[in-house]
Chains A and B, each alone.
Chain A
Amino acid sequence: MSDGSHWMHRVSPGATLRWTVLFIGGLIMITPLLYMFSSSLKPGADIYDLRLIPARATLDNYRAVLSDGRFMRWFLNSTFIATCVTLSTLFFDSLVGYTLAKFRFRGRQLVFIAILSTLMIPTEMLVIPWYLLSAQLGWIDSYWGIMFPGMMTGFGTFLMKQFFETVPDDFLEAARIDGLSEFAIWWRVAMPLVTPALSALAIFAFLGNWTAFFWPLIVTTSQELYTLPIGLSSFAVEAAIKWEMIMTGAALATIPTLIVFLVLQRYIVRGVMLAGLKG
């Protein structure tokens, strides 16, 4: 309330100008999205009419794109893969981060530095060996083939270690005295104390895997296994420059993350800030 009157009373010309400029800038930022949705609603014949509000809005493009079920399949693939990888990352990265933060044992420093050093190795360097490994083990064109490289990450381990270090040892010691197993201490005592970090890591892992392009492009070969970005990319080439269809596909690839963002905006922004500052 006081906040409201605050701006009401002190609206200066400078502040109004600042707000207007920021608002126009923001509109420019979302222009590609607005046009994507607008064109996806235009019938093919109207695609060269560049007005933002479609003269004749129709859902025909969506019907056509969704009719063969491929986008649904790709959407489910992406969701399944991103979920599995995120859960695995959360589990292992926090387990390793916790171990490195809270246990004293020989080799601790070595393991930590080794894992940290993997941050310096770009994925691009590993894809050729991964591809060979996958070919030899029959992982090419399988869900596991898409997922295995991301099951644990150096970034997540580092992040979780930072946060577990802020958990007081007394808490863990008390649990130990109560007779909890070491696993239970981690899972039931330490983990609940770092939920902000876990949600930050979850957001990063999910978003990263949902939009991943390079490795899925290499390791998938059949359409049934495509993730949404790969599916969209191949669909766009196949649509042979039918822009209304391409825009519809792009919109379908964007809508799920947009909904999630609108619902969880507060958490996502906070998570990005947290991971960005600590990471």
Chain B
Amino acid sequence: MTYRMIAAAALAGSTIFASQAGAVEIEYWQYVYDTRVKAMDQLIASFQEANPDITVKQVTFPYADYQTRIVAANMAGQAPDVMQLFYGWADKFIEGGLIQPLPEEAFPTAEIEAEFFPIVSAMQRDGKYYGLPTAVRSLALFYNKKLLDEAGVAPPTNLDELVAVAKATAKADAGGNLETVGITMDPAGQDHHWWREVLDRQMGGAPYNEDYTQVTYADEAGANALGFYLGLARDEKVTQLGFMDEGQAAFKAGRAALTIDGTFRLGSFGEITDFEWAVTELPANAAGERSNYASYFANAIGAKTEGEELEASIKFLQYVSSPEAMKIWLEVVGELPARRSAALTDENLANPIYAPFLKGLEYAHTTRFVDEAGQRQVAIDMINRVMLEDQPIPDALAEAAAAEQKIIDDAAK
């Protein structure tokens, strides 16, 4: 009790102090990632230059603890004014009273929908937006040029070619153990997205209904999609589940010809010196149809922020969602701008690395996760049941769909 009183007094004191000084200080939280912190430092510096009466204090935490830290701070009444959150956490954060809707006057819905890539709609609830991203991420196919050249094959453009390239590049030792895989198989990485939002749709299915309240992948299309994915290991023998623990590790070590990963991996793969690599769009199906999975971290305003802190927070959020901020973010972090006009510039589209990701954004889907970790686990377990316990694919799909539906239903309660 006493502690609360002291805290309240301290809070009151600091407010008085702030207004006396004629300046507002707001707190911005994001998780630690070297380039993201640097980019935000730059954004804060130029924002403060334009708004000398506002000070933004950046606070960072390791990714693994980031959510816990926000929840703990909220309990202790020390939540940030502006915070970064994964779009998949939106439901939890809204329900928990951590964030507030963006005011319509400052962020008109019509403008958001005209300007931003459609995937930002995942931050919308009951017609109100709860946050906006600076940058977005999508998937693409990374390939090891050296391995492809050695095998004399070109980067695949469709699924059949993908299998052919993987076959041509996979190498096994005398005992039949794979030493180099044609393509990585790492469901805990990005593969579960590839299966869910890309392969399922390419096989003519849809993983969920329109508003992501019903799981609909337990059908023939879903079975074909899963069959194709797992067939890479089981029938084609061009990969091995969990080869070298993580797909990105195998690719980095030069022991995987192909891997599906996101924009955020560009920095890490940039350290590769042993071989050249490049990026291409995710392969199309036989009919030429493509799909992609896009995700992003949005910035949102804390639920308890009000008064002049709220005004300052709105200004800050407007700035970090501006084309100027997006350009800086792309240069420093390498993540794609969330506004079409800032993303689809001639310069970006001519960039061999950015272009495949940008093209993917046009046809990307964003899974409306209610519990990202839980739903990912459902996919991992489904794949393990088929691979380790020989469960028939339709049964595995039905079990996964039921488990995921339960997660979605429980969250809606």
Contact = CB atoms under 8 A, between A and B. Distances in A.
B245 A241 contact: yes
A42 to B, nearest CB: 14
A136 interface: yes
B76 A135 contact: yes
A140 B72 contact: yes
A18 to B, nearest CB: 38
B170 to A, nearest CB: 18
Contact of B249 (A136, A220, A234, A242): A242
A108 B246 CA distance: 58
A137 B72 contact: no
Interface residues of B, number: 18
A177 interface: no
B69 interface: yes
Contacts of B244: 241
B246 A241 contact: yes
B180 interface: no
Interface string A18-45: 0000000000000000000000000000
Given A135-B72, A241-B244, A234 B62 contact: yes
A240 B76 contact: no
B317 to A, nearest CB: 24
A1 to B, nearest CB: 56
B76 A136 contact: yes
A132 B3 CA distance: 14
Contact of B62 (A136, A137, A222, A241): A222
Interface in A119-162: 132, 135-138, 140-141
B3 A136 contact: yes
B35 interface: no
Contacts of B3: 136-138
Interface string A217-250: 0001111000000000010010011100000000
B64 A234 contact: yes
B15 interface: no
A229 to B, nearest CB: 15
B75 A136 contact: yes
B95 interface: no
A223 B72 contact: no
Contacts of A242: 249
Contacts of A237: 64
A141 B69 CA distance: 9
Contacts of A132: 75
B131 to A, nearest CB: 22
B62 A240 contact: no
Interface residues of A, number: 16
B249 A223 contact: no
Given A135-B72, A135-B76, A240-B246, A221 B268 contact: no
B83 to A, nearest CB: 14
Interface string A66-110: 000000000000000000000000000000000000000000000
B213 interface: no
Interface in A188-234: 220-223, 234
Nearest to A134: B72
B266 to A, nearest CB: 14
Contacts of A141: 69
A228 to B, nearest CB: 16
Query: Which among A137, A140, A234 has the greatest number of chain B C-beta atoms within 10 A?
Result: A140
A220 B65 CA distance: 9
A242 B245 CA distance: 11
Contact of A138 (B32, B64, B76, B249): B76
Interface in B77-92: none
A142 B32 CA distance: 19
B248 interface: yes
Contacts of A234: 62, 64
Interface string B1-24: 001000000000000000000000
Interface string B325-349: 0000000000000000000000000
Contacts of B69: 141, 221
B75 A223 contact: no
A240 B268 contact: yes
A221 B62 contact: yes
A241 B255 CA distance: 13
Given A135-B75, A221-B65, A241 B32 contact: no
B46 interface: no
A119 B26 CA distance: 46
B61 interface: yes
B68 interface: yes
Nearest to B64: A234
B37 to A, nearest CB: 13
B75 A240 contact: no
Interface in B230-257: 244-246, 248-249, 252
A263 to B, nearest CB: 35
Interface in B265-301: 268
A223 B76 contact: no
Contacts of B248: 240
Given A135-B76, A240-B268, A222 B246 contact: no
18 contacts: A132-B75, A135-B75, A135-B76, A136-B76, A140-B76, A220-B65, A221-B61, A221-B62, A221-B72, A222-B62, A234-B62, A234-B64, A237-B64, A240-B249, A240-B268, A241-B246, A241-B249, A242-B249
7 smallest A-B Cβ distances: which pairs?
A241-B249, A221-B65, A221-B69, A135-B75, A135-B72, A241-B245, A241-B246
